């Protein structure tokens, strides 16, 4: 899908026009463009409220004729944010796409939303159809024109938005693969394929190599599965004059989470194919890096395992010696993500010493209870890092909300028989307990660290924000934007 900026409506040859309208006064028809007939009966209840839409046929504007033209309500101008803007316009995009129109011109006056809007359109254009019988070609939008009132040249914003959206869709395609396809070996091979195609360095620790490196916590999580665990490391060197790494991204890659011997309830277990979402985000970011080519050095780490019950599975009550020699008391095998990440994070910091380290994990149901599906939990003790991530979250619609990280919470994960236990106190601050656990495996004197709990935002069971159900790719745009801020 091609997205280009046009100066005026006279410059576009699109079939369809979409025009944003603000609500000025409640229950009052707002100011309308000159081409709209004010006495049109379809305008009777159109007030420019957020999400309202009125469609006209055969609209003549100057010398240009559009087959369809839509007014889209944007609500109060002072209340409009990037997400509401994108959702309102993307709804029109999907409506016209479903009617097999191939080109759409969008008119708006908020140039600061252009980058995120372009990424949202690319994402709205995505559907996961890998396993659907294809009886006829699906509808397809070929070209988008942007007419942005009062704007400067937006070529770079459009380019970045397209890259962000494409990288996110790559992540979503991996997220949506079922567990019988997306095994640990499949994910490791996807990383190898990406590295080969894009020119990244890659290191893959097989099960035997994990044993040699004493990565016993990742091994334990994968011990009940027929599919072996892996640690995959991707290296992007955009600044070869510098040895240091600017950023490390560590992703939880549990390709299916049954809960292990602490078995989950069967309800919604089919969604546990999405427990690999953090690792998919890492691969999505690297897909974006190949196009952005920033002058920075970045390391990506995938902690891959499948958490299954069997005679060889790790057990409640086990004590594991992790890579950094800290001991873990396992109280619940369904709190496996943090156990798998323990080795990945501690090895990454020791080996690569990144300035910043961000881990992304579908870690806790507690975070879903706290924040729902509208924001991921952000936990960091570094104020500068927190503020950078919050700013990037607003610019990309990958919204974050900070949770407290007081040292007193660390007491909740102290074990009587080991250095740390893998769950906190029942029913209390479960998301923060995950952070406090991981803290034991982070050298914060070396790296500034943030933990993102994306459990509520990584996938959706129904269409949301004018996007298809399934994996959301949450975090890809956020991390790519963060790279521009450091």
**Burial class of 389 by CB neighbour count within 10 A (0 to 12, 13 to 18, 19+):** buried
465 by DSSP, 3-state: which? coil
Task: Give the CB-side neighbour count of residue 170, counting CA atoms within 13 A.
Answer: 23
Phi, psi of 371 (to 5 degrees): -120, -5
**CA–CA separation, 161 and 190 (whole Å):** 24
Check if the beta carbon of residue 295 is closer than 8 Å to that of residue 202: no
**CA–CA separation, 131 and 286 (whole Å):** 26
**CA–CA separation, 297 and 238 (whole Å):** 5
Bridge partner list, 470: 460
Q: What is the DSSP letter of 464?
A: B
Residue 356 host element (H or E): strand 356-361
**CA–CA separation, 258 and 436 (whole Å):** 24
Catalytic annotation, residues: 264, 338
**CA–CA separation, 227 and 184 (whole Å):** 6
Check if the beta carbon of residue 452 is closer than 8 Å to that of residue 474: no
Residue 219 host element (H or E): helix 216-221
């Amino acid at each position: 899908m091609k997205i280009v900026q046009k100066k005026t409506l006279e410059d576009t040859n699109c079939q369809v026009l979409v025009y944003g309208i603000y609500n000025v006064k409640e229950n009052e028809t707002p100011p309308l463009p000159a081409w709209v007939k004010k006495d049109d009966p379809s305008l009777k209840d159109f007030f420019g409220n957020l999400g309202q839409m009125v469609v006209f046929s055969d609209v003549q504007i100057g010398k240009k004729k559009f087959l369809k033209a839509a007014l889209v309500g944007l609500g109060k101008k002072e209340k409009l944010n990037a997400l509401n803007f994108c959702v309102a316009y993307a709804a029109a995009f999907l409506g016209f796409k479903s009617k097999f129109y191939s080109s759409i011109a969008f008119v708006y006056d908020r140039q600061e939303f252009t980058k995120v809007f372009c990424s949202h359109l690319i994402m709205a254009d995505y559907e996961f159809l890998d396993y659907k019988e294809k009886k006829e070609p699906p509808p397809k939008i070929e070209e988008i024109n942007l007419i942005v009132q009062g704007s400067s040249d937006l070529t770079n914003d459009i380019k970045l938005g397209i890259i962000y959206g494409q990288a996110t869709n790559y992540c979503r395609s991996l997220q949506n693969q079922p567990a019988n396809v997306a095994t640990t070996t499949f994910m490791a091979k996807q990383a190898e394929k990406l590295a080969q195609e894009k020119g990244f360095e890659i290191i893959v620790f097989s099960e035997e190599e994990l044993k040699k490196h004493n990565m016993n916590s990742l091994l334990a999580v994968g011990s009940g599965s027929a599919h072996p665990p892996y640690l995959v490391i991707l290296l992007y060197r955009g600044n070869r004059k510098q040895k240091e790494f600017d950023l490390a991204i560590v992703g939880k890659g549990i390709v299916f989470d049954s809960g292990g011997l602490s078995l989950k309830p069967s309800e919604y277990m089919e969604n546990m194919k999405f427990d690999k979402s953090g690792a998919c985000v890492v691969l999505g970011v690297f897909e974006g890096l190949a196009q952005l080519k920033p002058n920075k050095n970045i390391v990506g780490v995938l902690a891959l395992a499948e958490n299954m019950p069997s005679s060889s599975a790790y057990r409640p009550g086990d004590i594991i010696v992790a890579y950094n020699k800290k001991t873990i008391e396992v109280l619940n095998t369904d709190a496996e993500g943090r156990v798998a990440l323990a080795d990945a994070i501690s090895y990454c910091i020791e080996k690569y010493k990144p300035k910043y380290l961000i881990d992304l994990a579908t870690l806790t149901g507690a975070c879903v209870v706290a924040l729902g599906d509208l924001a991921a939990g952000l936990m960091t003790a570094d104020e500068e890092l927190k503020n950078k991530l919050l700013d990037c979250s607003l610019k990309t619609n990958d919204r974050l909300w900070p949770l407290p990280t007081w040292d007193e919470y660390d007491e909740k994960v102290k074990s009587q028989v080991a250095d740390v236990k893998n769950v906190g106190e029942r029913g209390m601050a479960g998301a923060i307990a995950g952070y406090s656990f991981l803290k034991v495996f982070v050298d914060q004197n070396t790296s500034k660290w943030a933990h993102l709990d994306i459990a509520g935002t990584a996938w959706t069971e129904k269409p949301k924000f004018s996007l298809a159900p399934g994996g959301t790719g949450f975090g890809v745009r956020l991390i790519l934007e963060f790279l521009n801020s450091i």
